[in-house]
Amino acid sequence: QVQLVESGGGLVQAGGSLRLSCAASGSIFRINAMGWYRQAPGKQRELVADISGGITDYANSVKGRFIISRDNAENTVLLQMNSLEPEGTAVYYCNAVGLRTMGWDLPTEFNAWGKGTQVTVSS
């Protein structure tokens, strides 16, 4: 199994900053990509940013304000969120995809999610 644990959410005023962290653990063979998604009340979950092989991708709504980075050795991914807006209020979820070990069997694919961390931006 692969587990993801997020931290760093909280309450911040508009214009402020927060940094989210996500640590992956378990029977990991290789992580190919990690990312952050968010889900606001009454809305679908959406991609915020992801990173794969050093290449980053961002939702248009956060470009220039959020920065995603990854520590490959520690299997962690960070999301630095600057100039936060009230529209950014949501539960933020960490995601990782890759291969996990299965004893003596060949590694198999996994797609893991964290439980989410609440980010609230007050106006």
Render pLDDT for 82-114 as a digit per residue (tens, 0 to 9). 999 999 999 999 999 999 998 888 899 999 999
d(CA 28, CA 112): 11
> Cα 33 from chain centroid?
10
Mean pLDDT calculated for residue range 10-14: 97
- Do the Cβ atoms of 35 and 68 come closer than 8 Å? yes
Q: What's the pLDDT tens digit per position in 50-85?
A: 999 989 999 999 999 999 999 888 899 999 999 999
Q: Show Cβ contacts of residue 103 under 8 Å, excluding neighbours closer than 6 positions.
A: none
Dist. CA 113–CA 94, nearest whole Å: 6
CA–CA distance, 14 with 19 (Å, rounded to integer): 15
What is the pLDDT at residue 58?
98
Place of tokens 């069997």: 105
The helix (run of H) or strand (run of E) holding residue 31 is strand 28-39
